[in-house]
Amino acid sequence: MAEEIMCIGCGAVLQSSNADAAGFLPASALKKAQENPENDVYCQRCFRLRHYNEIMPVKVDNDDFLALLNSIASKKALVVNVVDLFDFSNSLISSLKRFIGKNDFILVGNKFDLFPLNSRQSKIKDWMRQEANRVGLRPKKIFLVSAAKKKNLAELISYLGKQSRDKDVYFVGMTNVGKSTLINAIIDELGDVQDLITTSRFPGTTLDKIEIPLDNGHFLVDTPGIMTENQLATHLDAKDLALVSPRKPLKPVTYQLKPGNTLFLAGLGRIDYLKGAPASFTVYAARDLYLHRTKTENADEFYAKHLGELLVPPSDPDKIGPLKGQEWHTEGKSDLLFGGIGFVTVPADCVVKTYTPDGVGLGIRRALI
């Protein structure tokens, strides 16, 4: 077997089997490195970071990640939990409090560009705070940004600048929340850190973190993204994920439903209207997501027959689990949440049942719009 070679940037063992893991190098480049042991070699991630100033995500499982978080507790740090506003409950790291010790943390809600243009920021922040409080988290501050569209970044950067005078800033997040995009956008805005980026290995673990030095001697630290089975993203391939992930601000599509009606959100979401008066159900999702109304009594058969064909995504029905549902009674006007897909606004006093594959990403909140 070939000898192990380390990346001279981050110290990870070079490998060509998993592009998402630390130390990845395409097989041909790895072979070249093995044949020329005298040369210095960077993994793909460090290479891109050095030459293009671009952070590439590395993914780890929860246990490794918690070990990393644990080591933050003993330092003076500000922890930034980047969350996806469209998959909030799955991207809030509820165990954060136990691991960061006395350090403060803030929530940065990303993908704000997708919210309909008339959304009120204060309402969204109130909802985020309530959800965080519900799992015992007390964020010091909440920001709404769009990393991709570089919206609302100035306020966040100015806050981080002040906070980093006496501590390092750690970015943590589940995969797919847009953490890499956000850090790249921040580096871009900061401008002259270009030549200063260093990578360093996290002591005592096989993980690497990336440190971005600031003028004041402190660092912005990127940590690997954590994967979870509760994210729709981990169940879909890249093509399907692109189909459900909204790119433009969500546009409402309204259906008049009465009890006994079912609405499908492609093959990944379902709402049964169980009890209530005839009402408007307004879907906020990707513009070209296929929506289909039918009678609840025919819905199971319809789903079995058309999944993967009319009801796509998923393009491969075998990749997702069976639909699992949860019943809700709306007290006021409410949003039914389908994590990673969008939400459906329904009036007060409706009894509904919502479904996703394995019940992943289901939830409810007071209507935001």
> Is the alpha carbon torsion for 116, 122, 125, 129 positive or negative?
negative
Interface segment toward ligand GDP; rule CB under 6 A; list 70-78, 177-185, 270-278, 361-369: 177-185
Q: Among 111, 209, 218, 270, which residue sits at the site for ligand GDP (rule: CB under 6 A)?
A: 111
Cβ count near 215 (within 10 Å)? 11
| Burial class, 282, CB count within 10 angstroms (exposed 0-12 / middle 13-18 / buried 19+) | middle
Residue 57 is a binding residue for ligand GDP (CB under 6 A) = yes
User: Side chain identity at 331, as an amino acid letter?
Assistant: E
114 binds ligand GDP (CB under 6 A): yes
- The rounded distance, in Å, linking the Cα atoms of 333 and 364 is 10
Distance CA 176, CA 233 (A): 7
Residue from 147, 221, 250, 307 touching ligand GDP (CB under 6 A): that is 147
Residue 231 binding ligand GDP, by CB under 6 A: no
In the list 60, 132, 179, 341, the residue contacting ligand GDP (rule: CB under 6 A) is 179
Among 90, 163, 164, 175, binds ligand GDP (CB under 6 A): 175
As given in the structure block, the two tokens for residue 76 are 């003076």
Stretch that binds ligand GDP, among 5-13, 39-47, 142-150, 351-359 (CB under 6 A): 142-150
Cβ 71 to ligand GDP shortest distance, Å:
21
CB of 235 to ligand GDP, least distance (A): 15
- In angstroms, what is the minimal distance from the CB of 297 to ligand GDP? 38
Contact pick of 176, 199, 231, 262 for ligand GDP (by CB under 6 A): 176
Binding residue (CB under 6 A) for ligand GDP from 173, 224, 314, 317: 173
**Between 106 and 346, CB nearer to ligand GDP:** 106
Q: Which is nearer to ligand GDP, 263 or 283 (CB)?
A: 283
* C-alpha to C-alpha distance for 133 and 129, rounded to whole angstroms: 6
Q: Which of 90, 180, 262, 345 touches ligand GDP by CB under 6 A?
A: 180
For ligand GDP, which stretch binds (CB under 6 A), given 11-19, 95-103, 141-149, 288-296?
141-149
Residue 177 binds to ligand GDP (criterion: CB under 6 A): yes
Out of 81, 90, 103, 110, name the contact with ligand GDP by CB under 6 A: 110
- The label of the residue with tokens 């992943």 reads 360
Q: Under rule CB under 6 A, how many of the chain's residues touch ligand GDP?
A: 19
Interface residue list for ligand GDP (CB under 6 A): 57, 110-111, 113-114, 146-149, 173, 175-181, 225, 247
